[in-house]
Structure 1
Amino acid sequence: MKHMRTVNDVMTHAVVSLDLAAPVHDIVATMRRWGFGSLPVLSPEGRVAGVVSEADLLAKAEGTDASHTVTAAQLMTVPPVTVPKDASIAGAARLMARGHFKRLPVVDGGGRLVGVVSRGDLLKIYLRPDEDIAEELRELFMTRLIPSGTATVRIHVDHGVVRLDGDVSDPALVGVLPRIARSVPGVVDVSSGLHSKVTA
């Protein structure tokens, strides 16, 4: 299974969006049909020009029959808050938490819409199979951090909780490996029974 590291790994690729000329009636109908509280508004080139939310509709169209005269271009919030598709899952989570966003448009390097990421999408990392997490840790430890033949590290994962046991020749790895393990998406907690083979 693919390791989940970036927004591109967890986002929803099929996106519902609006064009700049969409009237209020169509915006509301689209939101109700799909159950979304906000929608990205696209320029003719497919770039995210803004975002229209339920709050925008209530604040700017309140008390008027604007269903055919006010458009998404007039209602949308600009500049839009977006997240790059190669952003880390942790970085996207921090951005959503700071801005109290439930969903964010995901863009490519040219600012074009390629998906949408929600809070629920970001939580997918905690549904990773234990063996997938263990495989990533083995690959990370044995191919990048531990010289061949210098350590015996056993990795056990149970519902995202990692247990590391074994002996390492470099005393620094006793502290480093658990810290690295905690950074792997899907890891909930880490306990360590690692020991250094170096004796005084």
Structure 2
Amino acid sequence: MTDTSPAPPQAHALLADGTTVRIRTVLPGDRPQVLRLYEGMSPENLRLRFFTMNRDNPRHDADRMCAPAASRRRALLAESGDEVVGLGEYERLTEGTEADVGLAVSDGWHHRGVGTLLLEHLVSLARSDGITAFSADALSENHEVLKVFGDLGLGVSRHFEGPEVRCTVRLTEDETYLSAVDVRPLSAPAPLKEGQAVKHDMVGSVMTSEVVRATYETPFTEVSQLLKQYRISGLPVVDDDEQVLGVVSETDLMLHRSGDDDPESAHRFRRPARTGKARARESGALARNAGQLMTHPAITVHAEQSIAQAARTMAERRVERLPVVDEEDRLVGIVTRRDLLQVFLRPDAEIRGEVIDEVLVRALRLAPATVGVEVRDGVVTLSGQLERRSEMPVVLRMTRQVDGVIDVVDRLSFRVDDAHPQRSVPGSADMPLERPPGL
């Protein structure tokens, strides 16, 4: 993108998956890229954005977004390389201290935190402009944008009128908002390139692509034969579009067999009322095909998710395997505990070296001695003082993404509270600010 205007203020923001985008002011020269974002959106998302299917809406909005800056309006974009992946703006109403706000995110960048980050930066700008509330009109079926407002951590009220809902977001900063911000990395140092993530293996690198699977109607006996033939302990059940419906495991088979061994046994003894789980087990015992036998809904992961995320999902959900799906939730592979084990057998010294070299030095441009790194049995302890508070969540999240890291113990402090400057103690600019307990 080329423009003769002075370079606008910008920040590099860390997304939920470890990649980064650059957030900056929209310039007149950005119009082609803004229009390209709208042209790449599905008809349904365009309808949710503009309420109608008028083909001129994207062009008119691109013209308005990229018009020369006005005193009552602020517009920001998020970009990865030369691609605009998100837009956010607000315009002060004629009277008072309220402003209308709007967001748009590229179809391929949904569920990655782009909208939330844009909204947080708009909130910061709005406060400096004396704005005390945002308002936004949305279709009541636009659950994604309503969730973005709700997840922000600020007070939100909603007024429904027919198919539309008007949201009002109060920009008063309280502890709820501060806590929400603290668990979301706000920025990453500029040397980290857009779209770049810390080096770590993804699920797609260890998954098995040739997956033994069943359909809903696959008979019980055939499922049993598949598990025995391929020496596996479970398999996914898919529909005609290869979307995962559930998973059948050896445990499911054993429950079936135990229920078939003696069909009269249930009537020999009086039993207490059955719980929901007991009824589910009995249903499995009476199953005749994979659809009736399977555990559902299936717990899945995406191929681009990190191995560490997959391992945590397995541990939290107490499962032995995870079907791997693409962006349309179609089966592309399967990953087991055994597949992940090789990653978590990394020596502590190797993990420590990668945290120092890849995270602290290469990605964040910190001196190696700035942060103390200790690793024991895969648990990384970070200690020392960073310059800015906003660096802390970035360091923690990137460290968690390193292969072999089981957990991260945070013993970091900061010198300057750049996230909440109004909370700094007057006259203490040269004194280290210790993080309050619990943050």
TM-score (structure 2 length as normaliser): 0.34
Partners of 1:133 and 1:187 within 8 A in 2: no
Question: Within the alignment, does 1:4 sit opposite 2:222 as a pair?
Answer: no
Distance 1:139 1:178, change over 3 A: closer
Amino acid at match of 1:23: P
> Secondary structure of 2:323's partner?
strand
> Which of 64, 88, 103 is matched with 2:306 structurally?
88
Amino acid at match of 2:363: R
Structure 1 CA distance for aligned equivalents of residues 201 and 405 of structure 2: 12
Amino acid at match of 1:144: A
> Which of 329, 338, 360 is matched with 1:141 structurally?
360
- Following superposition of structure 1 onto structure 2, how do residues 21-40 of structure 1 map, counting pairs within 5 Å? 21-40=217-236
> Which of 231, 242, 247 is matched with 1:51 structurally?
247
- Following superposition of structure 1 onto structure 2, how do residues 118-157 of structure 1 map, counting pairs within 5 Å? 118-127=336-345, 134=353, 137-146=356-365, 151=367
Unaligned runs of 5+ in 1: 163-168, 191-200
Structure 2 CA distance for aligned equivalents of residues 59 and 178 of structure 1: 46
Greater CA radius of gyration, 1 or 2? 2
1:44-85 deviations in Å (ceiling 9; x for gaps): 111111111222223345327xxxx92212222221121222
Partners of 1:137 and 1:181 within 8 A in 2: no
> Secondary structure of 2:316's partner?
helix
1:110-142 deviations in Å (ceiling 9; x for gaps): 111111111122222235587798467434333
Amino acid at match of 1:93: A
Distance 1:31 1:182, change over 3 A: same
- What percent of counterpart residues are identical? 38
Distance 1:47 1:171, change over 3 A: closer
Larger RCO: 1 or 2 (CA < 8 Å, sep 6+): 1
Structure 2 CA distance for aligned equivalents of residues 44 and 89 of structure 1: 29
Distance 1:39 1:152, change over 3 A: closer
Partners of 1:82 and 1:104 within 8 A in 2: yes
Amino acid at match of 1:91: Q
Structure 1 CA distance for aligned equivalents of residues 388 and 254 of structure 2: 61
TM-score (structure 1 length as normaliser): 0.66
Cα distance, 1:13 vs. partner?
Answer: 2.1
Distance 1:140 1:97, change over 3 A: closer
Question: Within the alignment, does 1:104 sit opposite 2:325 as a pair?
Answer: no
Structure 2 CA distance for aligned equivalents of residues 176 and 95 of structure 1: 21
Partners of 2:361 and 2:368 within 8 A in 1: no
CA RMSD of aligned residues (A): 4.2
